[in-house]
Amino acid sequence: MRIFISAGEASGDLYASRLVEVLKARHPGAEFFGCAGPRMQAAGVRPIVDQRSLAVVGIIEVIPHIPRILLELRKLVRACAAEPPDVAILTDSPSFHLPLARKLKRQGVTIVYLVAPQAWAWKEGRVKTMRATLSRLLCIFPFEEEFFRKHGVPTTYIGHPLARLAKPKLTRAEFCSKLGIPEVSRIVAILPGSRHGELARHMPILLDAARRIRERVPVTFVLPLPAGFGLENTRFWEPVRAESIKVIEGYTWDALAQAELALAASGTVTIEGAMLGTPMVTFYRVNALSWYLQRWRVQTPFLTMVNLVAGRLVVPELIQDQMTADRIASEALRLLEEPEVMQTMRTGLAEVAKMLRSDRDPMETAADWVEKVVSGDRVHAE
């Protein structure tokens, strides 16, 4: 098989790389190419485009990058025209992948979409494109399957990949030794997001919050970054070092597993925290105009995925103007100083983790559907 596979951000790169590994085990001669991040490339995907070049969030924030993003999209379309794939697997990042899906469909490419766009929360109009272009949508949250099937999109819930993937590699002793801190340290993980733009928006507020927390509670702050992120190339290196925050690359799950608390950007990392049982305060901020243009269309009571899955407020979510150093510090200190509040949150996170587990590896189920679509067996798994 020749398989085109694409991911537009770090979490998609993780999921897609795992699917590549499963498909390669079943089809050793299969060829993979597409938009690939470091994990996909390590799994053997030939990169036509590097996934890291697409990591931009927000309506206004993306504008300066549009010419480059369109150029990358055209590269992928030309690659598929030159080497027609048996199937295209598009992973998350709907603003990039749904336009790509339309172009690939016109070329006659069969498309499987992994990780459903959040059309149930906003931009329900995307469903029309999905219905017209996708042979199978593979969703990772249980409430998504009914929504998309009701809208005519052939959909299967496969379970959340992080239920099996999110595990620490190091013991506490090894982790603390790596950072040069005592094992008895009260660790707080700072997770500002995996994109440089998120770091720019979030870190000044988080550094201020860290100072306020330290005034009341002796904690060690750890900043785990994706491997190869390169904090030294940003203007935030000096302020981070000045606050004695320990920086480590490539050990996010270890940091979460060893942390008493996480200050986490709303996104995939909140699910990782739930899987590892780490209490958290969540937040997110975009350009003010982006927020104004998007907020009125959001149709859900919560914006953090942990709360959406639970259907109730399990973790605090401080979005946009609510994301202040004072609010973050206040919520963090309440958890650090009140063990019963911390335990209540752990119980809620355990419930979320249980809801997202599946009996079978989600990527094995995803691989089944890729094979079915390639063979022409597109019967709904009712």
Nearest Cα to Cα of residue 162 among 140, 195, 145: 140
pLDDT at 299 over 70: no
Residue 275: which pLDDT band, with cuts at 50, 70 and 90?
Answer: very high
At 289 the pLDDT is 64
pLDDT at 263 over 80: yes
Residue 221: which pLDDT band, with cuts at 50, 70 and 90?
Answer: very high
Kindly state the percentage of the chain with pLDDT values over 90.
70
At 154 the pLDDT is 96
At 366 the pLDDT is 97
Each residue's pLDDT tens digit, 177-214: 999 999 999 999 999 987 777 888 899 999 999 999 99
Residue 251: which pLDDT band, with cuts at 50, 70 and 90?
Answer: very high
At 379 the pLDDT is 44
Q: Which of 20-34, 54-68, 158-172, 207-221 is predicted least confidently? A: 54-68
CA distance 192 to 199: 6
CA distance 279 to 212: 19
**Domains of the chain, first to last:** 2-159+358-375 (3.40.50.2000), 165-356 (3.40.50.2000)
- How much is the average pLDDT of 151-176? 95
Each residue's pLDDT tens digit, 22-56: 999 999 999 999 999 999 999 999 999 998 777 65
Nearest Cα to Cα of residue 268 among 5, 27, 14: 14
Within 13 Å, how many C-alpha atoms sit on residue 329's CB side?
17
pLDDT at 65 over 80: no
At 230 the pLDDT is 64
Is the distance from CB of 137 to CB of 115 less than 8 angstroms?
Answer: no
Residue 293: which pLDDT band, with cuts at 50, 70 and 90?
Answer: low
> What is the chain's mean pLDDT, rounded?
89
CA distance 360 to 331: 37
At 378 the pLDDT is 46
pLDDT at 61 over 60: no
Give strand ranges (E) for the chain. Answer: 2-7, 31-36, 46-50, 87-91, 111-114, 136-139, 155-157, 187-191, 220-225, 246-249, 261-265, 280-284, 317-319
Residue 242 vs residue 18, higher pLDDT:
18
The DSSP call for residue 64 is G
**Dihedral (C-alpha) 278, 280, 286, 290: value to the nearest 10 degrees?**
90
The token duo for 376 is 């022409």
Residue 235: which pLDDT band, with cuts at 50, 70 and 90?
Answer: low
Residue 64: which pLDDT band, with cuts at 50, 70 and 90?
Answer: low
Q: CA 313 → CA 161, 163, 345, distances in Å?
A: 23, 21, 10
Q: CA 249 → CA 36, 118, 166, 194, 256, distances in Å?
A: 20, 29, 16, 11, 13
At 120 the pLDDT is 57
